Structure 1
């Protein structure tokens, strides 16, 4: 494929409508990246489940929000691992804690998952200690087990800081490519879709796995350092290695410093013009994550009108939504699908 040719004519995510991605499972209701969270997301109707992937010392690919483990596991309470606590710069941030790359998979198997946001989601703490850490293989196996001829459940795997890992001697992209080949998961309509903020890593994977390899999404942060990805030229460049973009939802639903919504951007239309799918992240139901007019109260942890936000995104033509609350987006999608024939009949 020529460098300027879009992948839009190649594999696309196949769904009957906008797809729902269970962000770290259904993490509004269960501790993230646990079997319970992923299972619940599927039960709620998610089309894809989204694990974040980090690398262990012995090269295993495991599902954790980040490589620092103390916020999502009980590692800080384990005296046998007290000497592993360290301070490390990860990307632009200096962190102190326990890091996945300092543990073997066997050691991580002894840890138990805990709720990452206990202040915001206190009910989830009832599940602390009940579930272990999963590998990418186990998440893919779950998706395959729960798929049927009528409904394919897929995995949207986010690679966490792969270039940083490579600099430390852990070539994440090579490990991921090898694992997908081992799992027979390299086809464009297979069980795994890949995403990352790291454009260089996605390019490496596209070169390794080929144009007919797994579908890929370029994650885009709200930070100005990612602005270049969303220019028309940037979108065309993304289309040479990825099938879509996954922008922060605030790139589409625009807000001011007071979280008042000020309008919507033209990003969806421009990305579609470049042949890219658009799958924003992350829609969550708590007031703290919503524009001011969709909040139910001043309580940041109370549920606001996330369904209203989902309806707005769907009306703007997004191809999917990454969400902590799959049930909310599934309901909004059904509502929009029901309303569409009525609008067409009226016209």
Structure 2
């Protein structure tokens, strides 16, 4: 998933409002009637540098049903697990003097970025780098210690862990910035399909979900014979604290392929009944930013600006409260689509005030609304909240 700008963009809480929409007291409202999946977003990224085998191993130890990764391409066309083409964000590349001359400023999906980019590095060079934490509030002592895995290495790892644990560990790859890489002559879709075929996973029942923010990437893979479950991701930039409305800005305003084609619509068209019906023609589920399901609103001062309610010197989700949920989960289910919202995190700055600084309270709201899975940086919290939820249903 893309990293949403923290200025008013993270979690929501509607405990009481949600309860009225949950139907029979002991009924699961998921599309298939099964408990919601816990999807380890980039691994146990709340604890270890993201998208490393060590982070995935930790997530599995904590009970994750699925491990999630973003795929970008190296210069020599190998798919690796990184959230961004810009290696400065999640690796220690800046500490490698031999690569200093490769630092540059370019545009990625319309956003100007400065750093080092995966498409300028061979796999052998990538393997000399280490992953780092992308959040200053999270542990930093593991920075640089764990290497960047390839897509194939993750497939092999998931298979080995499934055998070792006796439970099926699914994977959830994303074609990241597919238009960017295609324009560089490094398209990734055929390689994703080839790897899935080689793994014996090209079916709806295989332990894999394939996701993208760009519909064209999903449609291409489907047309080329990919039969796995496909997920359309739906993004946004932030929340207007005065109104609770979604805001949009480059690069998370719309699929970049739309921008390139001159299509001015934003991601919000995807959550309408017509948008969901369109998605159903090529995908099996949606992965919306969770604010499309439960938004937040802040307190506004006489100057028209959001108030720093908790007086910590910053305006963020902790200064806001949740509003009543939308009908998106029910609408998607009606269209035959499952719903996997992102991203759930434990940091207090990302939790609306009505969650009382406890992420379990946020999960409870979404579980009651019938989401089919959650993307989380903290697998253990999601698992604990799910256990509480199921216990409350007598399951």
Please report the TM-score for the alignment, with normalisation by the length of structure 1: 0.88
CA shift, 1:86, in A, is 0.8
In 2: Cα distance, 1:151 partner to 1:236 partner: 34
Residue 232 of structure 2, aligned match among 218, 224, 230: 218
Secondary structure at the aligned position of 1:166 is classed as helix
Secondary structure at the aligned position of 1:179 is classed as helix
User: Alignment length, in residue pairs?
Assistant: 318
Q: From the superposition, tell whether residues 220 and 202 of structure 1 become closer, same or farther in structure 2 (CA, over 3 Å).
A: same
Q: From the superposition, tell whether residues 31 and 260 of structure 1 become closer, same or farther in structure 2 (CA, over 3 Å).
A: same
CA shift, 1:181, in A, is 2.1
Could you tell me which residue of structure 1 aligns to residue 168 of structure 2?
152
CA shift, 1:209, in A, is 2.0
Could you tell me which residue of structure 1 aligns to residue 285 of structure 2?
244
Summarize deviations over 1:68-111 as a string: whole Å, max 9, x none.
00121111111111111111100020101100000010110111
Could you tell me which residue of structure 1 aligns to residue 78 of structure 2?
60
In 2: Cα distance, 1:308 partner to 1:220 partner: 24
Could you tell me which residue of structure 2 aligns to residue 192 of structure 1?
208
Residue 272 of structure 1, aligned match among 329, 333, 338: 333
Q: Is the 8 A contact 1:57 1:104 kept in 2?
A: yes
What is the RMSD computed on CA atoms of the aligned residues?
1.8
Residue 296 of structure 2, aligned match among 237, 255, 263: 255
Q: Is the 8 A contact 1:67 1:101 kept in 2?
A: yes
1:262-301 to 2 correspondence within 5 Å?
A: 262-295=323-356
Residue 87 of structure 1, aligned match among 96, 99, 105: 105
- Which ranges of structure 2 fall in alignment gaps of 5 or more residues? 1-29, 237-247, 254-265, 299-318
Structure with more of its chain in helix, by fraction: 1
In 2: Cα distance, 1:259 partner to 1:247 partner: 20
CA shift, 1:182, in A, is 2.8
In 2: Cα distance, 1:115 partner to 1:78 partner: 17
Q: Is the 8 A contact 2:76 2:123 kept in 1?
A: yes
Secondary structure at the aligned position of 1:311 is classed as helix
In 1: Cα distance, 2:377 partner to 2:187 partner: 30
CA shift, 1:183, in A, is 2.9
Secondary structure at the aligned position of 2:140 is classed as helix
CA shift, 1:150, in A, is 5.3
Could you tell me which residue of structure 1 aligns to residue 66 of structure 2?
48
Q: From the superposition, tell whether residues 112 and 15 of structure 1 become closer, same or farther in structure 2 (CA, over 3 Å).
A: farther
Could you tell me which residue of structure 1 aligns to residue 260 of structure 2?
none
Could you tell me which residue of structure 1 aligns to residue 378 of structure 2?
325
Q: Is the 8 A contact 2:31 2:337 kept in 1?
A: no
In 2: Cα distance, 1:15 partner to 1:174 partner: 34
CA shift, 1:174, in A, is 1.9
1:88-167 to 2 correspondence within 5 Å?
A: 88-117=106-135, 119-121=136-138, 124-148=139-163, 151-167=167-183
Q: Is the 8 A contact 1:162 1:198 kept in 2?
A: yes
Could you tell me which residue of structure 2 aligns to residue 316 of structure 1?
369
